[in-house]
């Protein structure tokens, strides 16, 4: 890591990606700013292979969101579709911590599994949301299986799980191509990713704060709806969708680490 070339390389790659992200609206300005240190640490400490896996997640999710916005409009999900720093930090923190652990003498294989568990959970959850929005029927709440309105935190559908599994297959293939994962780690990626996105849904359905719009009456995960402050109806106030993402990516990492350690 005292090799200056890798720092120059990381800086150049991240600069190009930052401009690309702004140009194609994959992130807003705050999102790009937050992604710079995250990408840098992962590139320099985790290595270029870890960075490539993050990039596969980032570009595939960005592309899926753009396609969905073009296909069914941005109004379907009532949040801003251009991702911000909150999204970047929620999905990138576990990956950064694991990259730092990778230079502290931990077993590289187990650390790679943990990294894939974290990135896999974030990737699966993101693609599950995008593909799930295409489901023609009403999704069901993961806790009681009752039909709920599309976009409700904790709502699941067969399309959502299909999207998540596609994300994990893409990530598994990428990790094999980059040569950092063998069969055991690849299996750990799939299991931890499916469990991680399920944990995300369970937390979304239970502890995540939910609000009811005082204008249109819709249940939402946003504090503001239809331009007005919405009324909190359930969940813990400070636990929003980003905190749920953070907890579920850490859970995915721990699960993958444990599987790889057996």
Q: Which residues bind Zn ion (CB under 5 A)?
A: 213, 215-216, 225-226
Residue 211 and residue 153 in contact, taking contact as beta carbons nearer than 8 Å: no
Minimum separation from the CB atom of position 61 to Zn ion (A):
26
- Give the list of residues 6+ apart from residue 17 with CB closer than 8 angstroms, or none: 35, 39, 55
Residue 192 and residue 122 in contact, taking contact as beta carbons nearer than 8 Å: no
Instruction: List the one residue out of 89, 88, 4, 13 whose CA is nearest residue 48.
Output: 13
In the complex with Zn ion, which residue's Cβ is closer, 102 or 220? 220
Minimum separation from the CB atom of position 108 to Zn ion (A):
49
Q: Which residue has 């990956």 as its token pair? A: 95
Minimum separation from the CB atom of position 130 to Zn ion (A):
22
Minimum separation from the CB atom of position 215 to Zn ion (A):
5
Q: Please tell me the total number of residues recorded for the chain in this structure.
A: 262
SS3 112: helix
In the complex with Zn ion, which residue's Cβ is closer, 9 or 78? 78
- Give the list of residues 6+ apart from residue 86 with CB closer than 8 angstroms, or none: 242
Minimum separation from the CB atom of position 77 to Zn ion (A):
13
> Looking at residue 214, what DSSP letter applies?
T
In the complex with Zn ion, which residue's Cβ is closer, 96 or 213? 213
The CA distance from 154 to 18, in Å, is 32
In the complex with Zn ion, which residue's Cβ is closer, 91 or 225? 225
In the complex with Zn ion, which residue's Cβ is closer, 12 or 226? 226
């Amino acid at each position: 890591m005292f090799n200056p070339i890798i720092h120059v390389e990381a800086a150049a790659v991240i600069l190009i990606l930052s401009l690309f992200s702004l140009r194609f609206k994959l992130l807003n300005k705050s999102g790009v700013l937050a992604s710079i240190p995250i990408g840098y640490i992962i590139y320099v400490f985790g290595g270029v292979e870890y960075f490539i896996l993050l990039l596969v997640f980032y570009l595939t999710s960005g592309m899926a969101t753009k396609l969905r916005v073009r296909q069914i409009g941005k109004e379907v999900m009532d949040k801003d579709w251009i991702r911000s720093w909150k999204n970047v930090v929620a999905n990138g923190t576990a990956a950064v911590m694991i990259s730092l652990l990778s230079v502290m003498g931990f077993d590289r294989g187990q650390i790679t599994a943990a990294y894939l568990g974290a990135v896999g959970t974030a990737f699966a959850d993101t693609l599950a949301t995008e593909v799930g929005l295409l489901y023609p029927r009403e999704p069901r709440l993961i806790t009681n299986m009752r039909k709920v309105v599309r976009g409700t935190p904790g709502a699941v559908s067969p399309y959502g799980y299909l999207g998540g599994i596609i994300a994990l297959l893409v990530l598994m293939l990428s990790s094999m191509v980059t040569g950092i994962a063998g069969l055991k780690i690849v299996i750990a990626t799939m299991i931890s990713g499916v469990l991680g996105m399920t944990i995300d849904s369970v937390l979304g359905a239970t502890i995540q704060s939910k609000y009811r719009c005082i204008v249109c009456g819709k249940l939402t995960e946003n504090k503001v709806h239809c331009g007005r402050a919405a009324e909190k109806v359930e969940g813990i106030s400070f636990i929003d969708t980003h905190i749920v993402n953070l907890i579920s990516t850490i859970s995915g990492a721990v699960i993958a680490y444990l599987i790889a350690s057996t």
